[in-house]
Amino acid sequence: MKLKKISFILLISAVMLNISGLKTYAAEKTQDGIKLVISADKTDYDEDDKIIASITLENNSGNDITDVTLEGAVPDKFHLSDESNAIRRTTYLMSGDSVSYELVLLPDKKEVKKADKKEEKAVVTEKNEVQELKNPEDPALNSDEKNSSKDNKNAVSMAEIIIVGILLLAVSGAVVVLISKGKHKGIMILVCITAAGSLVPELKAKAVETENYNLSVSETVTVAGKEYELTAVVRYTMDKTDMQAAVEEYYEDNSEEIVSVEAVEENDSVFSEKEAIKFMSERGFTEYPLKYDYSIDGTYTDETEASAESDEKHPMYMTYFIAEDGAVWSVFIVGRTIAANPASYNLESDLESQVLVSETDTLTSYTEMGNKFYQTIPKESAVKLKVVDQITSQKLNDLTYEEVIN
């Protein structure tokens, strides 16, 4: 009996050693509580083997980090699989959180030329998508797009803390609150509401103390007897200010009432991609693709087109609508709430705060800082809500400048 017990213990120990050895082919480096790890699925590969490399960033610094860019270098004589991306970005990583992704590296062969062709095709597609967003029948509108984008870019470089209005036909239909981190730098809080220019002086006093860092780590593997280095690099900004407190203060300052605050992942009613597309289609918004920028856990995904076949959920979706009078609207879903921004009307008006069209007297906003929904009654100094029974393409077509702005 005793012999069996000893044998059983030895067996369990062997299994545990084997499990812990599954990811021993790794290198890591830590800097001020920020740990960067790169690991490979094994150390020795045959000539035709693929390499699976995992890159993980852990934030145990006690401070939040922002503007995070993780990049895996592709070694010579290898290329990325179609499913892999060398770069992973996230705008915000709280202390105690981590982010990771995989690179699948394939040995170069004849299929490299196919990959090049695919890249060319992707560029053409992207160009076509940009052209679709322009109004070919209204050159003046296209000109306004460029000027609006340029003006907002200049504003970022001039102010310490500035709230940027809706960019006409820009990537986001939401308002981006830029909290300065030095010259030409800013943290983005996607809140889907606009704020009055009069609030800028008040916010300027709340400057954020930040520092920029980078960190790299390499792991060596052998392929057909030859050594290759797998390298991961991260660039980030460390915030010395409590950004959660800054977000809460922003909403307190710009709301008559904060009705509710809810973690996105605890909200079961968030639309999936196919649900959001169906919802928008029923409202008549089908001319432009529906897009999202964040996953359900708050990870920044880059702008991605939603799929009518996907059950993946996202906190926010956005599309565009051009009315018969040439007015440009951005229409967005936050959670399950729809709102519309009359972008061109807001640019034309002299109002200190901007107007949003809503179906209720409350506004649901999303912030990546903590991955939360805020339902608020906004102050008129921040946002003026025009409430309508239902937001549809026909309703936006019927609304005039005077009805919206006045």
Task: Pick the range with the lowest mean pLDDT from 117-121, 228-232, 365-369.
Answer: 117-121
Please choose, from the candidates 64, 56, 53, the residue with its C-alpha nearest in 3D space to the C-alpha of residue 30: 56
Kindly give, in sequence order, each residue whose CB lies less than 8 Å from that of residue 70, ignoring residues fewer than 6 positions away: 55, 57, 87, 88, 89, 90, 99, 101, 232, 233, 234
Half-sphere exposure of 79 (CA within 13 A, CB side): 12
Kindly give, in sequence order, each residue whose CB lies less than 8 Å from that of residue 137, ignoring residues fewer than 6 positions away: 326
pLDDT one-digit tens code per residue, 252-305: 999 999 999 999 988 889 999 999 999 999 999 999 999 999 999 888 888 899
Please choose, from the candidates 38, 33, 32, the residue with its C-alpha nearest in 3D space to the C-alpha of residue 217: 38
**Average pLDDT of the residues of the chain:** 75
Per-residue pLDDT at 126 exceeds 90: no
pLDDT band of residue 119 (cuts 50, 70, 90) is very low
Half-sphere exposure of 35 (CA within 13 A, CB side): 14
The Cα–Cα gap between 318 and 388 comes to: 19
pLDDT band of residue 62 (cuts 50, 70, 90) is confident
Helices and strands per DSSP (H, E), number in the chain: 9, 23
With residue 301 as reference, give the H or E element that holds it. strand 300-305
Report, as an integer, the average pLDDT of 215-221: 94
Please choose, from the candidates 326, 328, 324, the residue with its C-alpha nearest in 3D space to the C-alpha of residue 341: 328
Domains of the chain, each with CATH number or no CATH: 23-124+212-239 (2.60.40.10)
Select the more confidently predicted residue: 229 or 132. Answer: 229
For 30-91, give the DSSP string. Answer: EETTEEEEEEES-SEE-TT--EEEEEEEEE-SSSEEEEEEEEEPPPTTEEE-TT--SEEEEE
pTM attached to this predicted model:
0.58
pLDDT band of residue 7 (cuts 50, 70, 90) is very low
Cβ neighbour number for residue 395 with a 10 Å cutoff: 15
pLDDT for position 80 = 94
Cβ neighbour number for residue 377 with a 10 Å cutoff: 15
Per-residue pLDDT at 143 exceeds 50: no
pLDDT one-digit tens code per residue, 348-377: 998 888 999 999 999 999 988 888 999 999
The Cα–Cα gap between 223 and 46 comes to: 6
The Cα–Cα gap between 157 and 177 comes to: 14
Residue type at 210?
Answer: T
Q: What is the 3-state secondary structure (H, E, C) of 247-264?
A: HHHHHHHHEEEEEEEEEH
For 148-167, give the DSSP string. Answer: HHHHHHHHHHH-SEEEE-PP
pLDDT band of residue 35 (cuts 50, 70, 90) is very high
Task: Pick the range with the lowest mean pLDDT from 135-149, 253-267, 312-326.
Answer: 135-149
Contact 246, 203 (CB under 8 A): no
pLDDT for position 302 = 80
Report, as an integer, the average pLDDT of 141-167: 37
The Cα–Cα gap between 231 and 215 comes to: 11
Cβ neighbour number for residue 356 with a 10 Å cutoff: 25
Highest mean pLDDT among 89-98, 172-181, 207-216, 351-360: 351-360
pLDDT for position 279 = 98
Task: Pick the range with the lowest mean pLDDT from 4-18, 161-175, 215-229, 303-317.
Answer: 161-175
Please choose, from the candidates 57, 115, 46, 55, the residue with its C-alpha nearest in 3D space to the C-alpha of residue 83: 115
